[in-house]
Amino acid sequence: MARKATRKAVDKTPDIRAVAALAKVSIATVSRTINGSPVVSDRLSKRVWQAIEQLNYFPNTQARSLVSGRSRILGIIVENITNPFFPELIQSFEEIAVANGYEILVSSSNSDPAVLTTCVRRMIERKVEGVAVLTFGEEETVLEHLTYHDIPIVLAEFRLEDPKSSTILLDYSTGIHAAIHHLVELGHRKIAYLAGPHALHSAITRENDFRSAMQSVNLPIHKDWIIECNHTLKGGVAGFEQLQKLPERPTAILCSNDMTAIGVLRAAYMRGLNVPKDLSVIGLDDIDFAEFTLPPLTTIRLSRTDLARAAFEALRLQAEEPDKAKIQREFLVSTSLVLRDSTGVPPATARS
């Protein structure tokens, strides 16, 4: 403060008063001009903009939000930013938010409740106007702090009691049905499923959708062919190995996520099996890398852009149009099958 005061006026970063002085108007007029108030006359408005330009003036967002009560910051909490699924999601969320005049506060929980607590605290301290909690986990309890502070939340696949919360429902069903149909059309009848950890809502939903898809094409669900993995590459390897030990083996494997599928690809390669000649593999997510595996992975795409868009819209609604937000508290994001080279007709011996 003191230091600031001793600086020569000329090299101080310009404030609204400086602009007002230069434009020979009141600070109220400058404020109105910046905020696009329609009452300002063209004559003054022009002078103000000129002054702003000349001084290279940027409004002080802290002061602005302090008085307006709106921070124009949205938080996004992901499970782990180094998981390739999330950066694209963050990127989209950032783009949409910035285009709409919001800033974003990113943080990863790393599936650690203590870290999540810190994340939530940071969000509250910075007075975010809403938080997208895209951890796909089960840490709902920590979120009470958010609801306590009246901060809107949007969650994936979980409904919170709080009236300021919204939910994004993921329609895995469409993509999974498409995947099963695709395999059936190729001639597969022996289809295994490497599930995600049952602690995740999303993993359970996906597994149920697999079961119903199998039923819809009248295919039997072989108990040993559904294995709970952990959504990691190593989990995929382990799942595949377990399948290999079975007397009767599937000709196709659908995986709960891409990392699992990549693990299967790798394990199959190690065993000397050719994908897709000997085995078809389908993932879920369509992470960037899916395109670059060997062979490129056929997978069920969960569009991060769509997910980000839904999350933003949910929060924007809560922040800007609370009445509408009360009515629409659920948002649907769809999935679709992306055909690449990891699926093909089953081997002749199995085709009989």
Partner DNA sequence: GTGAAAGCGCTAACAA
Partner DNA sequence: TTGTTAGCGCTTTCAC
Instruction: Please pick, from the candidates 294, 332, 339, 341, the single residue that binds a second copy as defined by CB under 8 A.
Output: 294
Minimum CB distance to a second copy, residue 225 (Å):
25
Tokens 């597994």 identify what position? 207
Binding window for DNA (CB under 7 A); candidates: 19-27, 74-82, 161-169, 341-349: 19-27
From the list DNA, a second copy, none, partner contacted by residue 328 (C-beta under 5 to 8 A by kind): none
Binding window for DNA (CB under 7 A); candidates: 20-28, 145-153, 193-201, 206-214: 20-28
Q: Which is nearer to DNA, 28 or 221 (CB)?
A: 28
Binding window for DNA (CB under 7 A); candidates: 15-23, 88-96, 268-276, 338-346: 15-23
Which tokens sit at 225? Answer: 């062919």
If binding is defined by CB under 8 A, does position 66 make contact with a second copy?
Answer: yes
Total residues in contact with a second copy, by rule CB under 8 A: 50
Total residues in contact with DNA, by rule CB under 7 A: 32
From the list DNA, a second copy, none, partner contacted by residue 160 (C-beta under 5 to 8 A by kind): none
Instruction: Please pick, from the candidates 24, 37, 41, 63, the single residue that binds a second copy as defined by CB under 8 A.
Output: 63
Binding window for a second copy (CB under 8 A); candidates: 37-45, 63-71, 189-197, 213-221: 63-71
Q: Which of residues 87-146 bind a second copy (CB under 8 A)?
A: 87-88, 90-91, 94, 98, 103-108, 118, 121-122, 124-127, 145
Which tokens sit at 126? Answer: 């910075």
Bond before 59 cis per omega within 30 degrees: no
Instruction: Please pick, from the candidates 217, 289, 309, 347, the single residue that binds a second copy as defined by CB under 8 A.
Output: 289
Contacts of 42 (CB under 8 A, 6+ apart): none
Quick check: 338 and 300 in contact, CB under 8 A? Answer: yes
Which tokens sit at 155? Answer: 């969650």
Minimum CB distance to DNA, residue 40 (Å):
4
Minimum CB distance to DNA, residue 58 (Å):
7
Cα dihedral 236, 238, 244, 248, rounded to 10, equals: -80
If binding is defined by CB under 7 A, does position 242 make contact with DNA?
Answer: no
From the list a second copy, DNA, none, partner contacted by residue 221 (C-beta under 5 to 8 A by kind): none
If binding is defined by CB under 7 A, does position 29 make contact with DNA?
Answer: yes
d(CA 280, CA 250): 9
Minimum CB distance to a second copy, residue 82 (Å):
5
Residues that bind DNA (CB under 7 A): 1-2, 4, 15-17, 24-32, 34-35, 38-41, 43-45, 59-60, 63-64, 66-69
Residues that bind a second copy (CB under 8 A): 1, 4, 13, 56, 58-63, 65-66, 68-69, 71, 81-82, 84, 86-88, 90-91, 94, 98, 103-108, 118, 121-122, 124-127, 145, 148-150, 233, 262, 266, 269, 288-289, 292, 294
